[in-house]
Structure 1
Amino acid sequence: MKQLEQTITSLEVAEMMETRHQKILEKLDGSKDGKTKGIITILTEHDFVLSEYFQESTYKDISGKTNKCYKVTKLGCDFLANKFTGEKGILFTAKYVKRFHEMEEIITQPTCMEDILIFNLQEMKAVKEKMNEQDQKLKCIGTKVDGIKDIVALNPTDWRKETTDLINRMAHNLGGYEHIRAIREESYKLLEQRYGVALSIRLTNKKRRMAEEGICKSKRDKLSNLDVIAEDKKLVEGYTAIIKEMAIKYGVA
């Protein structure tokens, strides 16, 4: 591809700013009496890579005399734009941004058959990579759809085992089985909100009834919210639906 050094001369800068070239040189080199430091001196003293901003050069005037100038990079133009405020600074910024944009376009244009071939091959490679990326996304979507189908098809007759399995998988996706308790609490809270029930009260009442029936304490202590849910068909259906929603939310599908 055709290469073009992306700089403009300090002469062009002066023209864009509608000012004398000498004034630009004074900004860069400082005043001749040494009272005012120039940008070049300040950058050099503070160990900046000067060539990233300004590169010393020369030009010949109409009389053939060789004079000093600078090649100015885009960073250098940014620097100078900040030194000129108001309308002059704004107009300079607009002009140099456009100039560098034009240079970028020239650089990216192929100039011979070999360059054109390389350019086309690069485009074909990019298209192929994009297609492969899309294929991977489609496969991923297909896997997720299959997973969602499995969740939706959750067997209501074996709801305790299957919801527990989904909760374990959610916890695994979140980073570990220590998340199981938080997931269960979230599911119970959602169930209570949707169906207007208080699982803790129902659990307490169930334990009291079992105590009155003479059932031993060790057995009563093993009761959980799932035992309360199991007594109400609507709660079973609601809880199962909530676990399905959470499984999809936490990326189990």
Structure 2
Amino acid sequence: MNELIKVEVKADTQVVSARELYKGLEIKRRFSAWVSDNFKDFIEDVDFTSVRKSTEVKNNGGIQIRELQDYAITISMAKELCMMSHSEQGKRYRKYFIELERKWNDPQEVVKRGYAILQNENARLKIENQAMKPKALFADSVAASHTTILIGELAKILRGNGINIGANRLFQWMRDQGYLISRKGTDYNMPTQRSMNLGLFKIKESTITHSNGSVSISKTTKVTGKGQQYFINKFMKMNETA
């Protein structure tokens, strides 16, 4: 089917330009008069919407851009306008619009449009989700960066950002990746020299006085603000590529 007039889709509705239809119907009256006489039986923002159309006109040997009043009209309204023209062109355009509607309402086309809308919605949600992750990550990191936290508390922050990991698994991962000392002994689960050089951890020492009067030193590994940002970002990136 040869294209008689450009058709656009807005809000899942087929629309055409009133000016283009006016031209195609070969209306002799001024456009504004034609609109005034024929649009009064239609509902604005339902059957038609007001739009502005840019066009080039010659002016003193040069080109000037002018803004013209136009309307985006539905196919149903366009069909009625064609009937109201009482012309051969009106019959021709009306048949064209009837065929457009038939194809538009064909079950296969409806399913195809529905699938396209679903795909677009999924893509939009994915983009929004990706955009929200850095914001949530940034907010959590800033809140956490004011103080050092336990590795178990870092696991809770990671779970809050969609990372499925607990304290024990996080300790194991840090040992496997060389952030914590894995050999059994007094330094077990203490930061490696590499981690300390990166500023990811601090060691908190506490003095414990026992009932027999002896004193011992307890060491606890805590994650710095920099370490929190480092590990959260690392896990978020790993989660995106998983």
Q: TM-score range by the shorter chain?
A: 0.3 to 0.5
Larger strand fraction of residues:
2
- Give the TM-score normalised by structure 1: 0.33
- Give the TM-score normalised by structure 2: 0.34
Larger helix fraction of residues:
1
Larger Cα-atom Rg: 1
Q: Which has the higher contact order (CA 8 A, sep 6+)?
A: 1
